[in-house]
Structure 1
Amino acid sequence: MTVLIADPDVVALPVVDSGEPLIDLAEAGLACQAAPGSPGRRVRAGVAARLLAAEAALPAGIHLLVVEGARSAADQTRIVEGYQRDLRAAFPRSAEDEIQRLSTRYVAPTAYAPHVAGAAVDLALTDARGRRLWMGTEVDATPEESEGACAFAAPGISAEARAHRDLMAAALSGAGLVNYPTEWWHWSYGDRYWALMTGARQAHYGPVGVAS
């Protein structure tokens, strides 16, 4: 059974923030889609170091592309509220607690969202010319619009997409990051979800104040 990010075992883990700074991913040497100066271009230093290790582990001519790193609390809240509105429209008979649960397959509550802590990245792979490799869905495809194909282990995706997902996963997990299994593109280090998945007693990163 998939452990979701709002699971009580995740939320209960303490956070002892290491105080690591946010650093610019592009300046660190990683391809990043986010605009210069935006929160999405930055992550905690420990996350960046592990992404660089994962990049080095990929075959020649294959590269990581960071679509988004850190996210402001305001932006996170807007995403949560927008997706929950969509779910209420799609499932009008569902109780509110079920809407809340369903929403966490795709976006974390703001108070403990890994992106708000600078602990998470949304990623894709590119070839040597910077063209994205096909991963089975677009980054940020919802479970509804992708018919579940956004999940890392989703059945029915092409052999090409499966190979690309597995390649990215080998590099990232080898560098110490963990995947959120309902989103093939979401990987994190140092947050509560990472702590539960790795058996750590506490998370290293809590929310950081970044402007939208």
Structure 2
Amino acid sequence: MTVLLSDERIARIPAIESGEPLVDLFTRGIATTGRQFVRESVADRLAVADTFLPAGIRLHVVEGSRPIETQQEIYDGYRAELERLHPGISADDVHILASRFVSPVEVAPHVAGAAADLTLVGTHGPLDLGTPIDATPEQSNSACFFAATDITREARTNRALLADVLTAAGLVNYPTEWWHWSYGDRYWAYLEHHPAALYGPTSNLSTLA
């Protein structure tokens, strides 16, 4: 059964801030949409994963570190959408449903600079991964889940390739979002059986150009 970011087991994991700086992924040779920043160890692992890909295929990061305020806005907006779709839903249930697509702020990997939303691109543009990045479970009929079967064979093959290179580089996937991969956050700590996360919120961190 999938453990979601709303699960108390994730919230109970402490974050012992390492002080590791944020890094511009451009400096690691990673293709990005705009300037994207992640923790230094995350950037290094993404760079390693990129080298594992076949010739002509690259990682492309759409989003890395995210301000707390932005995270809260995304969470609140999606939660409100779910409340409209499910009149009378309880506060606990809507919190759980919302966490399939956007993390509660207090445990959010993007807020810690620990996560990247990414895809694969080839010489002719983005590869087929089954859904657009940030397709909600409702919009995609749950095809955004990494293990979804209602996608093309090509998309399944590309997801497997993405998982192979990122897992080999030490990152973990949030299974309700094929595009979301992280290292050093509470979800990573839970999956990899570490006693604590390496990163808390990125406020006041230094940034390496």
TM class, shorter-chain normalised? over 0.9
Distance in structure 2 (CA, Å) of the matches to 1:191 and 1:125: 23
What secondary structure sits across from 2:140 in the alignment?
coil
Q: Deviations over 1:91-114 (max 9, x none)?
A: 113112111110000001112200
RMSD: 0.9
Aligned equivalents of 1:90, 1:194: Cα separation in 2: 31
Q: Report whether the alignment pairs 1:107 with 2:112.
A: no
- Cα distance, 1:171 vs structure 2: 0.2
TM-score by length of 2: 0.96
Alpha-carbon distance between aligned partners in 2 of 1:154 and 1:207, rounded to the nearest angstrom: 31
- Counting only pairs closer than 5 Å after superposition, residues 4-153 of structure 1 correspond to structure 2 as 4-33=4-33, 35-36=34-35, 41-129=36-124, 131-153=125-147
For 2:117 and 2:17, the matched residues in 1 are separated by 22
Distance 1:193 1:14 in 2: 11
Distance in 2 (CA, whole Å) between partners of 1:208 and 1:81 is: 21
- The 2-side partners of 1:70 and 1:160 are apart by 30
Residue 209 (structure 1) aligned to one of 195, 203, 206: 203
Aligned counterpart, 2:188: 194
After superposition, the C-alpha distances for 1:80-128 in whole angstroms (9 at most, x for unaligned) are 0000010001111311211111000000111220000000000000003
Residues of 2 paired with 1:208 and 1:112: CA distance? 12
Instruction: Tell me by how many angstroms 1:27 deviates.
Output: 2.0
Q: Does the CA-based 8 Å contact 2:130-2:156 persist in structure 1?
A: yes
Give the structure 1 partner of residue 207 of structure 2: none
Overall identity of the aligned pairs, in %: 50
1: distance between equivalents of 2:12 and 2:46? 27
1:6 deviates by 1.6
The amino acid of 1:196's aligned partner reads Y
User: For 1:158 and 1:29, how far apart are their aligned partners in 2?
Assistant: 30
Quote the offset at 1:75 in angstroms.
0.4
Q: Distance in 2 between matches of 1:208 and 1:49?
A: 18
Q: Distance in 2 between matches of 1:93 and 1:157?
A: 32
- Runs of 4+ more than 4 Å apart: none
TM-score by length of 1: 0.94
- The letter for the 1-side match of 2:127 is L
- Listed as ranges, the gaps of 5+ residues in structure 2 are 205-209
Tell whether 2:172 aligns with 1:171. no
CA positional deviation for 1:199:
0.7
Q: Give the drift of 1:203.
A: 0.5
